[in-house]
Amino acid sequence: MSSDISDSPWIDSGPPSKLAFVAAPTPTARTGLERLVSRYGDCAPADAEVVVCLGGDGFMLETLRSMMDHDVPVYGLNCGSVGFLMNPFDEDGLQERLKQSQSAILHPLHMRATCEDGSIHEEDALNDVFLFRQTRQAAKIRIDIDRRERMPELICDGILIATPAGSTAYNLSAHGPIVPLSGNLLPLTPISAFRPRRWRGALLPSTAIVTFTILEKEKRPVAAVADSTEIRDVVEVTVQENRERSVMVLFDQGQTLSERIITEQFSA
């Protein structure tokens, strides 16, 4: 997923007045929802100038997926734990914060997974697409980039390809690199690689078409996951950026997603 980033406020008129609020099913988010709706009102997301999302990063990703292809930006207020995609929760001055916020337009990855029974499943992912072994047996996977074989056999627990925004999530936990939004790069990261043991992955251009072919699929079944959607018993998975879909995310001034990615690289 590459990104179009703005360093100036996303809106050049007055503060937005038509807000839609959505909240995760947690006590903290629900309490915040009641307080914000009582102060600022509420409308349907399709009629709003901004959708305000209360929750954590997981619920934010669900909201972003639901708002893809709609010309309505999403602004997150952290009512979860990590909140990498969120802004600090504060019910005061919300409309002015929204007016001054900065935007990032995100494009998802598109996964096309073919299963052993011949069925085909297509999903988009704003965070990452990863493959993972379904049993105690390690997976064996061939990797082709732009229809050219690059690795004939990777023996591993799995492998993932992340968006720049998602590079700080599972990708980072698997010791993959953090990628700036403006880099137009996709990190390809193995998960517990056994052979080649020292292969740490690759950085691919955002235009790359990546194909994973499952070897010994009967003995070593593999599942594919696009964000929260899991497809089991895959035999081939192709991943590439989907430039035809997008969603706009808003961040407080001086706290853009690019800034957060830089900060994350210097944190303990």
Annotation says 146 is catalytic: no
Is 173 known to sit in a ligand binding site? yes
Is 127 known to sit in a ligand binding site? yes
Is 165 known to sit in a ligand binding site? yes
Rounded Cα distance, 220 and 137, in Å? 6
Rounded Cα distance, 140 and 118, in Å? 20
Is 168 known to sit in a ligand binding site? yes
Hey, is 181 helix, strand or coil? helix
Is 268 known to sit in a ligand binding site? no
- Say which of 4, 7, 12, 57 is annotated catalytic: 57
Is 57 known to sit in a ligand binding site? yes
Output helix, strand, coil percentages for the chain, rounded to the nearest 5: 20, 40, 40
Left (φ > 0), alpha (ψ -120 to 50) or beta: where does 192 sit? left
Is 169 known to sit in a ligand binding site? yes
Instruction: Look at the block and give the residue holding tokens 């009582």.
Output: 38
Rounded Cα distance, 142 and 152, in Å? 5
Binding site listing = 57-58, 127-128, 157, 165, 168-173
Binding site listing for NAD(+) = 57-58, 127-128, 157, 165, 168-173
The catalytic residues are 57
